[in-house]
Chains A and B, each alone.
Chain A
Amino acid sequence: MNAELGQVALALALSLALVQAVLPIVGAARGNPAWMRIAPYAAVGQFFMVALAFACLVAAFVSSDFSVRYVASHSNLALPTHYKVTAVWGGHEGSLLLWVLMLSGWGVAVSLGSRSLPLTMTARVLGVMGLVSLGFLAFMIFTSNPFDRLLPAPLDGRDLNPLLQDPGMIFHPPLLYMGYVGFSVTFAFAIAALLGGRLDAAWARWSRPWAAVAWAFLTFGIGLGSWWAYYELGWGGWWFWDPVENASFMPWLTGTALLHSLAVSEKRGSFKSWTVMLAILTFALTLLGAFLVRSGVITSVHAFATDPERGVFLLAFLALSTGLSLALYAWRAPKVGMGGSFAPFSRESLLLSNNVLLVVAMLAVMLGTLYPLAMDALGLGKISVGPPYFERVFAPIMMPLLFLIGLGSQTRWKQDDPMTLLWKLRWLLLASLVIGGLWPFAVGHWSPLTSGSLMIAAWIGLTVLRDIVTRLQGNAGHRGLAARLGSLKPSYLGMQMAHTGIAVFLVAVAMVMSYEEERDVRLVPGESVEVSGYDFRFQGTSRVQGPNYSAERGVVEVSRDGRVFTTLYPEKRHHPGQEMPMTNAALDRGLFRDLYVSLGDPLGGGAWVVRVYYKPYMTWMWSGCLLMVFGGLLAAADRRYRLASTRRVAPAVGTTSTSPAGGR
C-alpha cells in the first residue's frame, strides 16, 4: 500500500514540477502576475509530495517490506533499525529520491527566502528549479523507480553493503547532495538573470548566500566522505583521486571560484558574464558527477549498479540543460557589459587569478578523470590515471592560489601598489618563512615541499590575523574587544574563518604526506612492532558477534617509552551473504597524530597481517574542513543579504554598479 502511495505522490510531484517549470517562466515573459505567483505554491506542493514519497520509502524499509524490490535488495531483517533508515539512500533509486527531496527542499527555501525579491525574478528562479526537478523526477519515475514491486516477495532481503553500515555514511550522502543540489539554486538565479536580462549587483547579492550555503554543504559532504574513507576502508588513505571523488571535487573547485567571482560582481559590478558562466559550469559539473556515478561509464567504489538506459537519460539531460544554458548565455551575455574597470594589481585582478587557477585545476582533474574513458573509447587500450598524475599536476596549480589567499584580502579594490603592500607585509612574510622553515623539524626530517607548504599555511594564518587586528583597531567607535569583535560583519568573519580552515587543512596535508609511516607486518600474539616511537603489541584475536555480522577482533596494546596508554581493537567483520570481509580499523586520535591499526589477513596459527600507521596532524585536516564549513555558513548568515533584498523591492534602483555599459 505504502509503495503505491509513494508512487502516486511521485507522479503528483512530477505534475507540480511541470506546473512550476512552465507557468511562472511563461508568466514572467508575458507579464502575467497570477501565473508568476503560482511558483511558490507549486514549489511547496512539490516538496510535500516528494517528502510523502520519501516517507513511504522509509516506512517500507522500517517495516521490511520486501515486496518492494529496492527494499529487498538493500536491507534485511537483521539490519539495525537506524541502518534500515539510512539504507533508503544506500542505492541508486533511493539516493535519487533523496536528491529530489533536497532539490524540492531548496525550492521551498528559495520561495521563503525570496519573498522580498521582485516577482519576475522569483518566478524565473523557481521556474528554472522546477525544470531541474522535472528532469530528475522524470529520470526517477521512468528509469529508476524506487517503488517497483518484487512479487512474490522474498522472505528476507539482501543486505545493505556493509561498507555503508557506518555513522559516517548516515550523513555523507545527504550533506553531499545538499551541496550538489544547492548549486542548482545559483544556476537558477543565473539563468533567471539571463532570461530577464538583469545581470546586476542585486542579482549577485541574491545569489551569494545560496552559493555560500551550497558550498558549505558540499565541503562538509566531501570532508565527511574523506573522513569515512579514512577509517572505514582500512587503508589509512583520505583521498584517492577516485573518479567519483573527483566528480564531487570538480564542482567544488568551480563553486569556490563562483563564490569569489560573485563577490566581485556584487561589490564592483565586474566579471558578471564570467560569474554566470561559472554558475552554469558548476551546475553542469554536478550533473556530470551524477552521470559518472550512475551510468557505469567508470569503475569506482562509489558506482551504483549500472544500466545503460539510465546513462542515456542522464546524458541527454546533461546535454540538453547545459546546451540550452550555453545557448542562452551566448544570446544574452554579451549585452551585459563589463562593469567597473580595475588596475592590473587590485583585489579584482587577484580574484581573477583565483578564478583562473581554480578553473585550470578543475580542468586538470577532469582531464585525469576522463582520460581513461577517452582512451578506451578510441580503442587505445585500457589505462588508469592514478594519484601520481593528480598530485604532480594539482600541487603546482594550488600553491600560487594558496599564496594569493594571504594577499587577496589585504589588497584594495580597483587599484593597489604591490610594492607598498609587500613592504607592509614584510614582517609577516619573514615570520611565515621562519615558521615554515622550522616547523618540519618538530616532526621529522626537513624537505623543501613540506616546508614550502607550511610557509604558505603560516602566511595565510598570519595575514588573516593581521587583517582582523587591523580592522579591530580601525573600529574606534566601539569600546571593548567584545564589542569590536561584534562589529565585524559575519560575512567577513566567515571568509576569514574559511581561509583559516584552508591553512589548517594545508598543514595537515603537508604533514601527513611527508611524515606518515606505515608498517605491514606479520604478528603472532605477543609480538610487537615499533612505528615512530610507538610500540604496538598484538595480543591475539577473539571472536565477537555483532547484530548482523561476526568478527575477529584483534587486541593491540599501544605503549610509548614502556608505558601502555591505550588499547586498540581493530576488527575483521564478516557479514553473511557478502563475499568480502570488512576491515574496521581502530584509531587513537590526537591533536598532533593519529595511531591507526587495521587487521589484514589471518596467516594461521594465530598470526595476522597487521597494518600499523602513524598519521601526523590528521585531526587538523578535519578541523580545517569544519572551519571552512562554518565559515561558509557564517558568511551566508550575514544580515546584509536579507536587508539588502528588502530595500530592493522597488526595481531598477540605479546604483552605479548596475550601469550596463561599464561607464566607469
Chain B
Amino acid sequence: MDLVLLFFIFVLAAFLGLELISKVPSQLHTPLMSGSNAISGITIVGALVATGANETGAMGMILGFLALMFATINVVGGYLVTDRMLQMFKKKDK
C-alpha cells in the first residue's frame, strides 16, 4: 500500500467533507451529527476482519469481537435513530 496515496485520499476527503457540510442549516444539526456518527461506525469493516481472521491469535479475536459488537451498536443504532428523528421533520400544509 502506497502511504503517500493514503494521505492523498485523506486530505481530499477532508476538503470534500468541509465543503459538503458547511452549508447545512442549523435545524438539521442533530440528525447530521447522529447520521455522520453512524458513518464513523465504518470501523466495523476493520472489526469484521479482526474477528474472522484466525491469524490474529486468541486475544486479537476477542478484541475484534468486542470491536465488532460496539461498532455494530454504533452503526445500527445511529442509522435507526437518525431515521426516527428525520421522520419527524415535516412541513405542514396550511
Is A bound to B? no
Residues of A within 8 A of B (CB): none
Residues of B within 8 A of A (CB): none
